[in-house]
Amino acid sequence: MNNQTIAEVEDTEYLYWKDLKESLEKLEKNKDFKKVILEGYFKEKAVNGVSLLASPQIKRNGARSDVMEALIAISQLEDYFLTIKAMGEEPEEDGSEETEE
């Protein structure tokens, strides 16, 4: 690929992530999203899941792996949001622009 094509691909990819970041920021300002996802899912469900791990009934029934899978799902969604935020940031200029001769 030539430099122009690489730059176009990078621009397209950046615009994709930037658009997702802007959408996520809008969602994070929405009171229902905050209540359901940020508070309900990321906090309350996570804390309840951690508490379940110590439950004698959960241990006795061998259900710890199910609880762990639910906690992993929470972590994966949160990680996806962090990825969106990181990838949607303005790229830093490194000052090492290549010149064609």
- Taking only Cα atoms into account, the Rg of the chain, rounded to an integer number of angstroms, comes to 21
* Summary mean pLDDT of the chain: 91
> Are the beta carbons of 85 and 24 closer than 8 angstroms?
yes
Per-residue pLDDT, 10: 87
How far is residue 89 from each of residues 20, 26, 63, 84, 99, measured CA to CA in Å? Answer: 11, 15, 40, 9, 25
Q: 52-100: per-residue pLDDT in tens? A: 999 999 999 999 999 999 999 999 999 999 999 999 998 777 655 554 4
What mean pLDDT is predicted for residues 17-37?
Answer: 98
Find where tokens 């996570």 sit. Answer: 46
* Confidence tier at 26 by pLDDT (50, 70, 90): very high
Which residues, in sequence order, are CB contacts of 1 under 8 Å at separation 6+? 9
What mean pLDDT is predicted for residues 17-30?
Answer: 98
Q: What is the pTM of this model?
A: 0.80
∠ CA 48-53-54 to the nearest 5 degrees?
A: 105
Q: In angstroms, rounded to a whole number, what is the distance separating the alpha carbons of residues 95 and 91? A: 12
Per-residue pLDDT, 52: 96
